[in-house]
């Protein structure tokens, strides 16, 4: 049979067991605290040399693409006058930029026209120069009056001179205006020998009156024949062709009674240019 123990002995056994079990628990709880504090102390000791090491290292160079911005508070100190100057300068810069863009655009346009071999011309501005002042039409056959420099078309000049010639013939019916003018050849002789006019009455015929033609614009007296301007004639045809106009064609079958269109107004003068 099993041995029975008293309740007093059993209580003593339980107390002993409880002391054995509490002691290890207390030791286990206090041990981590001491280890934690020691580990923190060791870490702090190891961290200090690391800071000193970082401080002793030289600074690393900045990369090439790194931009350092330096802030300035000078704008806060600007007066109102300085602010207006800055505003005007910025406005002028913006205007210059616009002008540069415009000039670049015009330069490109002129470059393209130059490469094409064509030049853009305002027809209205050139038309005033190439048109006749009398009929306001194109000068297909322009003639220049060398005495004054004005230029007209052939038909208008002939009509203008013909009016003067018809009036002269009506006033001097006995004078032939188409007779060759010998005065320019005999003028040096008559000036050196004025008595010849009295000795030979026939010389008086050389002093016969002549019709006086004038310029339709400036009324200057015209003493020489009009001269055809071939360069202006070619220019008129070029511009007319560009505008879609056709130049009139002369009748090749028509018979010319005169060698030039001005023989009836300016007869040949011997000894005169």
- Domain contains 176: yes
Whether pLDDT at 2 is above 60: no
pLDDT at 65: 55
pLDDT at 128: 80
Same domain, 113 and 132: no
- Domain contains 211: yes
Same domain, 112 and 138: no
Same domain, 151 and 219: yes
Same domain, 203 and 168: yes
Range of the domain at 115: 88-120
- Domain contains 180: yes
DSSP SS3 for 228: strand
pLDDT at 164: 92
What CATH code is carried by the domain that includes residue 230? 3.30.40.10
pLDDT at 64: 56
List, in order, residues 6 or more apart from 266 with CB less than 8 Å away: 224, 225
pLDDT at 1: 45
Same domain, 112 and 202: no
**How many Å separate Cα 87 from the centre of its chain?**
28
- Domain contains 152: yes
Residues 32-70 as b or e (16 or more Cβ within 10 Å = b): eeeeeeeeeeeeeeeeeeeeeeeeeeeeeeeeeeeeeee
Contact yes or no for 163/153 (Cβ under 8 A) = no
Residues 162-182 as b or e (16 or more Cβ within 10 Å = b): eeebeebeeeeeeeebeeebe
Q: Which range scores top for mean pLDDT: 6-10, 52-56, 104-108, 239-243?
A: 104-108
Contact yes or no for 141/153 (Cβ under 8 A) = yes
Summarize the confidence of residues 147-166 as an average pLDDT.
Answer: 93
For residue 232, what are its two tokens?
A: 């202006």
- Domain contains 160: yes
Place of tokens 């934690």: 36
Total domain count, the chain = 2
Query: Which residue, 265, 41, 49, is CA-closest to 165?
Result: 265
- Domain contains 55: no
Same domain, 92 and 173: no
Same domain, 134 and 203: yes
Whether pLDDT at 160 is above 90: yes
pLDDT at 97: 92
Query: What is the per-residue pLDDT across 178-233, written as a single tens digit (0 to 9) for each?
Result: 766 665 566 667 677 767 666 655 555 556 678 889 999 999 999 889 999 999 99
Beta strands 221-222 and 142-144 are unpaired
Same domain, 158 and 212: yes
Same domain, 131 and 203: yes
């Amino acid at each position: 049979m099993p041995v029975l123990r008293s309740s007093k002995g059993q209580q003593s056994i339980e107390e002993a067991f409880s002391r054995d079990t509490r002691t290890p628990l207390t030791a286990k709880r206090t041990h981590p605290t001491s280890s934690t504090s020691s580990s923190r102390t060791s870490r702090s000791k190891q961290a200090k040399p690391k800071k000193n090491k970082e401080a002793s290292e030289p600074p690393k160079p900045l990369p090439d693409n790194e931009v350092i911005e330096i802030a300035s508070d000078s704008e806060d100190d600007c007066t109102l006058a300085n602010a207006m100057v800055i505003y005007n300068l910025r406005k002028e810069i913006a205007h210059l930029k616009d002008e540069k863009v415009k000039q670049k655009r015009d330069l490109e346009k002129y470059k393209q026209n130059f490469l094409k071999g064509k030049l853009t011309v305002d027809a209205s501005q050139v038309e005033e120069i190439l048109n006749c002042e009398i009929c306001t039409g194109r000068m297909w056959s322009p003639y220049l009056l060398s005495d004054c420099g004005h230029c007209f078309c052939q038909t208008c000049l002939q009509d203008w001179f013909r009016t003067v010639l018809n009036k002269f013939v009506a006033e001097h019916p006995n004078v032939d205006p188409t007779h060759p003018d010998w005065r320019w050849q005999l003028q040096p002789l008559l000036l050196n020998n004025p008595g010849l006019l009295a000795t030979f009455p026939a010389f008086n015929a050389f002093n016969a009156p002549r019709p006086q033609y004038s310029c339709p614009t400036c009324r200057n007296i015209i003493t020489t024949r009009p001269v055809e301007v071939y360069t202006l004639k070619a220019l008129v045809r070029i511009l007319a062709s560009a505008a879609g106009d056709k130049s009139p064609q002369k009748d090749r079958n028509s018979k010319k009674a005169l060698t030039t269109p001005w023989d009836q107004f300016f007869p040949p003068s011997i000894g005169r240019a």
